[in-house]
Amino acid sequence: MTYTHDRKLVERAGESVAWLTTVTPSGRPAPRPVWFVLDGEDIVVFSRPGTAKLRHLAANPEVSFHLNSDEYGGSIIVVSGRAHIDEAKASEAPGYLGKYQRHYAGIGFADPAAFDADYSVRIRIVPEKSWGVLRAAPDSEADVQAGQPSTRGSGVPRVGVGAGFVDHHGPRPSSVECPVHNGGCMTDA
């Protein structure tokens, strides 16, 4: 079955930070915040060479990629796929400079060339499957206390984690890695 982007992923592609989860040699999940862009059907992320995430991917290319939920635990999107690693320049990835260049100086990079030199490894995620939970915000505190489903937003009840479950197969997204916190979220461990 062919993967197709969930329209919610495309709608939320402007968000700055997503999470890329790799698998350690001992089988433990290792989530990392990343900057990303969609590139056709793929998700593209960039990394510094020699990081733990790259060692994990060399041993096991299976990954998951997800965006943060909203404040009510809804709007969850998770994409599973395989990562492919190669050398590339973030400045040449469609949409990357427009999305992140304004942050470069804040994390110690004078220009795109300096960023490209440091984050020279492209991780291209080829999606295979995605799923999500869409829940609307509560109408009022009284509704929450009474356990009443929301009638706002998507109209999907906010009670029950399975409410609004979506399972997708189709085209693949693209993503880029997150040097947002200059070592805070981008640990090379």
174: in domain: no
98: in domain: yes
57: in domain: yes
Burial of 166 (0-12, 13-18, 19+ CB in 10 A): middle
pLDDT in tens, 95-134: 999 999 999 999 999 999 999 999 999 999 999 998 887 7
pLDDT in tens, 125-176: 999 998 887 765 555 555 555 555 444 444 333 332 333 334 333 333 333 3
Distance CA 35, CA 158 (A): 29
54: in domain: yes
**Strand ranges, E, within the chain:** 17-23, 29-35, 37-39, 42-47, 62-67, 76-87, 121-133, 166-168
Q: Which domain holds residue 92?
A: 7-168
CB proximity list for 102: less than 8 A, separation 6 or greater = none
Distance CA 3, CA 152 (A): 30
**Mean pLDDT over the full length of the chain:** 78
38: in domain: yes
Total count of domains within the chain? 1
> Helix or strand or coil: residue 68?
coil
pLDDT in tens, 56-93: 999 999 999 999 988 888 888 999 999 999 999 999 99
- pTM higher than 0.75: no
pLDDT in tens, 15-37: 999 999 999 999 999 999 999 99
- Would the pLDDT of 178 be above 60? no
CATH code for position 128: 2.30.110.10
pLDDT of residue 6: 72
